[in-house]
Amino acid sequence: MNDQVKTENANPAEAETAAPVTSVDLQREFEESGVGDVLRELDETLVGLAPVKKRIRETAALLLVERARKQLGLAYEAPTLHMSFTGNPGTGKTTVALKMASLLHRLGYIRKGHLVSVTRDDLVGQYIGHTAPKTKEVLKKAMGGVLFIDEAYYLYRPENERDYGQESIEILLQVMENQREDLVVILAGYADKMDKFFESNPGFRSRIAHHIDFPDYNNEELLRIAEMMLNEQNYELSPDARETLIRYIDRRRQQPHFANARSVRNALDRARLRQANRLFEAGTGPVTVEDLKMISPEDINVSRVFSIPTDSERAEERA
């Protein structure tokens, strides 16, 4: 009966003359796609990185506008979104790549929202005939999503005539060109090494449309990151421990092999280890929730970081 009513009330002439779509509400598209959720999560979970977040928003805007053009019948060509992430270790490159995969999926640019993270060892074989199958297997897993190649410059080793990295590079370049609507490749690594890599491999440079530099965190940002990490694990810093951690961060940033948030995480892991040993060896009976949560100055200030001279202290000694 309902179907009958619908048929009787339908007006084919009205349906045929329905006005074509002439506008798209970009803000509505933005909210309905869930991209706003991804960007808000990025702001909440990642400290600093203002220029990186700006580029991600710009990429989202580009894809929203291109989608609107397609809906309105304008000339449309899927933009090339292969990227290069450059920066020191611990600056959030892998985390941002994960968010980028989610964002691109929500906007319909890739079929899946997954990220496949690899290094040279996952792509390059040890003997003749080994590299092509390895590279193609990785690409198969990544298809429809994002392939993140960390320390990508190690793919190219011109000093070794028997190196098979070039074979992997050629396969990657072919797929990046011919299947760019179904795969986004992100190359990551130190800025200076990536520059040399692109100079030696112009094919990659021509296919990478977006170069995003990840700045180092400053002292205040690293402290915020530390407090967020501790909070996630139900730990707290006593006021004195917080001041000790501030001094630790300042000194650690001036010492070799500093890896931004990664170094902070390692420092906190060691502080938790010392706290556990301190509580266990105290032997004073039951411990409270407060005892188990609190990080004290002595859990941090015994670090050898305080005994290693900083660059500025070395300079003063030489003066």
Per residue in 91-139, pLDDT (tens digit) is: 999 999 999 999 999 888 899 989 999 999 999 988 888 999 999 999 9
pLDDT at position 17 over 60: no
Residue 254 phi/psi, 5-degree rounding, is -95, 5
Helix, strand and coil content of the chain, in percent to the nearest 5, comes to 60, 10, 30
For residue 9, pLDDT over 80 is answered with no
Q: In angstroms, rounded to a whole number, what is the distance separating the alpha carbons of residues 61 and 59?
A: 5
Q: By percentage, how much of the chain surpasses pLDDT 70?
A: 92
The secondary structure of 19-39, three-state, reads: CCCCCCCHHHHHHHHCHHHHH
Choose between 120 and 73: higher pLDDT: 120
* pLDDT confidence tier of residue 140, bands split at 50, 70 and 90: very high
Tell me, what's the pLDDT at 1?
Answer: 47
**DSSP one-letter string for 199-265:** HH-HHHHHH--EEEEEPPP-HHHHHHHHHHHHHHTT-EE-HHHHHHHHHHHHHHHTSTT--THHHHH
Across all residues in the chain, what is the average pLDDT? 88
Better-scored residue on pLDDT, 309 or 295: 295
- Answer yes or no: is pLDDT of 7 > 70: no
Which DSSP helix (H) or strand (E) runs through 135?
helix 131-142
Q: Residue 70: pLDDT band by 50, 70, 90 thresholds?
A: confident
Higher local confidence (pLDDT), 309 or 304 = 304
pLDDT in tens, 145-192: 999 999 999 998 877 767 889 999 999 999 999 998 899 999 999 999
At residue 236's C-alpha, the angle toward residues 230 and 241, to 5°, is: 105
Summarised one tens digit per residue, pLDDT across range 184-234 is 999 999 999 999 999 988 889 889 989 999 999 999 999 999 999 999 999
Q: Output the pLDDT for position 124.
A: 94
Going by pLDDT thresholds of 50, 70 and 90, the confidence category of residue 319 is low
Of 238 and 284, more confident: 238
Angstrom CA distances, 256 to 91, 192, 194, 219, 253, stand at 16, 18, 21, 16, 8
Choose between 50 and 14: higher pLDDT: 50
> Which DSSP helix (H) or strand (E) runs through 70?
helix 50-71
Taking the model in full, what pTM does it have? 0.84
Query: How far is C-alpha 25 from the chain's CA centre?
Result: 30
Banded pLDDT at 11 (limits 50, 70, 90) = low
Q: Compute the distance between CA of residue 168 and CA of residue 130 in angstroms, rounded to an integer.
A: 10
**Residue holding tokens 């309902």?**
2
Would you say 101 and 110 are in contact if contact means Cβ atoms under 8 Å apart? yes
pLDDT at 51 over 70: yes
Chain segment 232-262, per-residue pLDDT in tens? 999 999 999 999 999 999 999 999 899 999 9
Topology adopted by domain 219-310 = Helicase, Ruva Protein; domain 3 (1.10.8)
Per-residue model confidence (pLDDT) at position 12: 53
Residue 150: which H helix or E strand, with range?
strand 146-150
pLDDT higher than threshold 70 for residue 50: yes
Q: 27 pLDDT exceeds 90?
A: no
* Cα–Cα dist 266/262, whole Å: 6
What gap in Å lies between CA 102 and CA 115, rounded to an integer?
9
Q: Domain 24-214 in CATH: superfamily?
A: P-loop containing nucleotide triphosphate hydrolases (3.40.50.300)
Q: How deeply is 256 buried, as exposed, middle or buried, from its count of CB atoms within 10 A (0-12, 13-18, 19+)?
A: exposed
CA 216/CA 185 separation, integer angstroms: 23
Q: Where is average pLDDT lowest: 10-14, 80-84, 149-153, 275-279? A: 10-14
Domain boundaries, the chain: 24-214, 219-310
